[in-house]
Amino acid sequence: MSELAVILGLSGPKLTAAERAFFRDANPWGVILFSRNVENPEQVKRLTSDIRETLGRNCLIFVDQEGGRVQRLKAPHWRPYPAGAVFQTLYAQNPAWGQRAAYLSYRLIADDLRQVGITADCAPVLDIPQENADPIISDRAFGTQPVQVIDIAHAVMAGLMNGGVAPVIKHIPGHGRAEVDSHKALPRIKVSRQTLEQTDFIPFRALHDAPMAMTAHAVYECNSRSAVTVSKKSFTELIRAAIGFNGLVMSDDLDMKALKGGLTRKTERALAAGCDIALQCSGNLHDMVLVAKGAKILTGRAKHRAMVADYCAEHVDAFDRKSAEAEFDVLLSHSQPEQALA
């Protein structure tokens, strides 16, 4: 059975009977987990196994596990990881420290995720925060200059992929200038195309070979009056052409208030604009049905991109966790104490 071009959430820590029936019928390409789906390692491992058994295949299972404010697998069962700003601090002291700490952090995260059957992480964040921007990005960012963002993000990608976890760069083509949180309203980026080319786009261009990217729900007024997620013009000219990203692109969560209209129409618009996959995270079964009505079967180039993303989670390098944690802790000791687990 062909996969539906969607990633969907779940309501709780177990698959309900209704979710099992729906998933068998709709066959979403992937599933994403949130804090409401996470209790302890044994439970998450059972849940991911049940998801794959229900779908009848080894699908990618996603999570947002950046560290800092964005960490779905939390203490006491998982160690807390630092926000991106900590790697920025270390990089400022010694670029090699920042890169090595970022690699180790995400290699450890990858180990956590693989242990419980999660095989894709919505990271790294490539957004460059600007003055007067909404704090939704802030300390999640790896820096304010493209070169340090690129260096740290490459280390993050390596840590995840060496651990058999497929990365998702975000939020393409750049969310760092947004003056409102796209969870609540639609940001409008008003600077010139030239400014974007010389700043925001640079990290995404440097990591254009990443297997997956997530869109920013934002309007880039130099190009279109519609959010890039639902604008074929912006999607094609900015993401595919200007940045040169040819991997799988998923929408950010269609439940976010930045996009207007019903979920069926949002799904149709995102896929028509060029997104390969529509992401919807609420875990509400009624909402998932609405998304499925607007979705389409994964075919053609989108199907090929999805297969490449799947391959990125197939290989796991040998890993000595104890020594990695010891080295990581030494590196963290060089950052500001109050930042170490921010």
CB 169 within 8 A of CB 204: yes
Q: Map residue 133 onto helix, strand or coil.
A: coil
CB 180 within 8 A of CB 186: yes
What is the distance between the alpha carbons of residues 207 and 323, in angstroms, rounded to a whole number? 29
- Backbone phi, then psi, for 125, in 5-degree steps? -80, 125
What is the distance between the alpha carbons of residues 22 and 24, in angstroms, rounded to a whole number? 5
Q: Which of 77, 183, 208, 334 is catalytic?
A: 183
Q: Hey, what long-range contacts does 85-88 have (CB within 8 A, 24 or more apart)?
A: 85/138, 85/139, 85/140, 85/141, 85/142, 85/339, 85/342, 86/332, 86/335, 86/339, 86/340, 86/342, 87/142, 87/152, 88/141, 88/142, 88/143, 88/144, 88/148, 88/152
What is the distance between the alpha carbons of residues 18 and 265, in angstroms, rounded to a whole number? 24
Measured on CA atoms in the order 227, 121, 342, 105, is the torsion positive or negative?
negative
Angle in degrees, 0-180, between the axes of helices 84-93 and 146-162, rounded to the nearest 10 = 120
Q: Which of 121, 127, 252, 310 is catalytic?
A: 252
What is the distance between the alpha carbons of residues 268 and 249, in angstroms, rounded to a whole number? 15
Query: Could you confirm whether 183 is annotated as catalytic?
Result: yes
275-294 b/e with 16+ CB inside 10 Å = b? bbbbbbbbbebebbebbbeb
Q: Map residue 128 onto helix, strand or coil.
A: coil
User: Catalytic positions, please?
Assistant: 183, 252
